[in-house]
């Protein structure tokens, strides 16, 4: 009923829950040397551009010190010499930015132009560009940078509640089985950005469920469910712990017992928050992991017992299967009468499941009880 624990971190997940993170590189002044801004002036103008870009919450920026430290760690000559696109893309990815902003001042005659190019690191393509032109004086350049930042903000601004609306449209599409529309809406909602991690983990959970249940893509489902876990500041908040369980189930399906057990263990403290019809799934698949993958029948038995303990209806799957597993263990321990009685109860409760009655019938015949 669910899918599995990829015990790998998604380092950028929490960052993606808000406005895009931009690495703003130093402004490049390509004018003749005698008319160029000084190093200090370019640094100040770049700092002004970064601050102006974040006004209104359309973008977040990587601290310049972090960019500088990353370049030094890679033994580059100087942060201020990283003007080419290739260098900026590499460094942008190193600092976990989602976009880079390259800004250039050029001069044609007595006029100057400021060109800003926003590059999307995930799409590996330029997202948008903005230009401002005017006189070349310091005051005019400052005004041009301010206008450039405003243009970028307006182009990247998201109307209020857009992310929430797109997320809800995605859930509606998921519920009616329209995978393509759901995936499109979820991607748009992520791009719009959530300021509340409690909304972001809902988004990633349903995104993962779309891949798991509708697209049958376990790999992408695991990526999204891991994001739902990682973005959650409180792991007791739904759906963080349930996505953790889904990851454990997926690991079980893939035959990875250690990973499944790790994920089940992480989700167990909060599984009581779910309705009993989901709790019995949790205990059944933990038991199955131990029985089928670890060959640990003794370890599996308490989980089958807990599965039945939380269930309010024996005919609800997998409750009757938990009973059947305990019957098999009783049979293997030589308690055939007890095993036969449990199997008959399980058979009666699970008749609605295709093939289950036949499975029980064979077990009873093998014991000579039918």
Domain count, the chain: 3
Q: Is residue 184 part of a domain?
A: yes
Q: What is the mean pLDDT of residues 166-189?
A: 94
40 and 60 share one domain = yes
Question: How high does pLDDT run on average in the chain?
Answer: 88
Give percent of the chain with pLDDT exceeding 90: 66
Listed in sequence order, the residues at least 6 apart from 71 whose beta carbon sits closer than 8 Å to its beta carbon are: 78, 79, 82, 91
Residue 141: pLDDT band by 50, 70, 90 thresholds? very high
Which of 97, 132, 156 is the C-terminal boundary of a domain?
Answer: 156
148 and 172 share one domain = no
Q: What is the mean pLDDT of residues 263-290?
A: 97
Structure tokens at 298: 């003794």
3-class SS at 1?
Answer: coil
Which of 129, 156, 183 is the C-terminal boundary of a domain?
Answer: 156
Q: Is residue 117 part of a domain?
A: yes
CB 129 within 8 A of CB 115: yes
Q: Is residue 13 part of a domain?
A: no
Q: Supply the CATH number for residue 175's domain.
A: 1.25.40.10
168 and 225 share one domain = yes
Q: Is residue 144 part of a domain?
A: yes
What is the Cα–Cα distance from 147 to 140, expressed in whole angstroms? 10
Which of 111, 135, 156 is the C-terminal boundary of a domain?
Answer: 156
44 and 117 share one domain = yes
pLDDT digit string, tens, across residues 18-37: 678 898 988 999 999 999 99
CB 282 within 8 A of CB 271: yes
Q: Is residue 96 part of a domain?
A: yes
304 and 261 share one domain = no
Q: Is residue 14 part of a domain?
A: no
- Residue 5 pLDDT more than 80? no
pLDDT digit string, tens, across residues 70-118: 767 765 454 445 667 777 778 778 888 888 899 999 999 999 999 999 8
Structure tokens at 197: 């991690």
152 and 167 share one domain = no
Q: What is the CA radius of gyration of the chain?
A: 29
Model pTM score: 0.62
Q: Is residue 107 part of a domain?
A: yes
50 and 148 share one domain = yes
**Domain containing residue 207:** 1-8+160-269
97 and 168 share one domain = no
What is the Cα–Cα distance from 328 to 331, expressed in whole angstroms? 5
194 and 232 share one domain = yes
């Amino acid at each position: 009923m669910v899918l599995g624990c990829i015990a790998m971190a998604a380092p950028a997940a929490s960052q993606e829950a808000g406005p895009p993170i931009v690495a703003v590189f130093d402004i490049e002044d390509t004018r003749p040397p005698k008319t160029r801004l000084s190093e200090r002036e370019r640094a100040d103008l770049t700092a002004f551009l970064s601050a102006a870009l974040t006004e209104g919450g359309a973008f977040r920026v990587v601290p310049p010190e972090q960019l500088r430290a990353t370049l030094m760690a890679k033994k580059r000559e100087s942060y201020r010499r990283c003007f080419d696109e290739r260098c900026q893309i590499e460094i942008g990815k190193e600092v976990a930015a989602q976009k880079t902003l390259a800004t250039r001042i050029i001069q044609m005659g007595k006029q100057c132009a400021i060109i800003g190019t926003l590059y999307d690191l995930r799409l590996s393509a330029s997202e948008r560009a903005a230009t401002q032109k005017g006189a070349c004086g310091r005051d005019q350049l400052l005004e041009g940078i301010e206008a450039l930042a405003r243009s970028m903000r307006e182009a990247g601004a998201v109307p209020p509640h857009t992310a929430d609306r797109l997320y809800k449209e995605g859930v509606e599409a998921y519920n009616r089985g329209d995978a393509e529309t759901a995936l499109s809406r979820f991607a748009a909602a992520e791009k719009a950005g959530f300021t509340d991690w409690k909304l972001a983990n809902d988004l990633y959970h349903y995104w993962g469920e779309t891949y798991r249940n509708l697209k049958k893509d376990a790999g992408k489902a695991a990526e999204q469910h891991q994001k739902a876990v990682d973005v959650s500041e409180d792991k007791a908040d739904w759906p963080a712990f349930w996505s953790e369980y889904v990851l454990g189930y997926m690991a079980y399906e893939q035959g990875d017992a250690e990973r499944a057990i790790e994920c089940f263990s992480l989700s167990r403290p909060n599984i009581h928050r779910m309705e009993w019809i989901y709790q019995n799934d949790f205990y059944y698949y933990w038991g199955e992991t131990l029985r089928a993958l670890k060959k640990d029948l003794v370890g599996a038995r308490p989980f089958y017992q807990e599965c039945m303990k939380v269930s309010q209806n024996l005919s609800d799957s997998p409750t009757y299967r938990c009973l059947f597993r305990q019957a098999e263990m009783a049979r293997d321990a030589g308690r055939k009468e007890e095993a036969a009685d449990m199997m008959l109860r399980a058979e009666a409760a699970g008749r609605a499941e295709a093939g289950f009655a036949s499975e029980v019938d064979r077990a009873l015949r093998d014991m000579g009880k039918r």
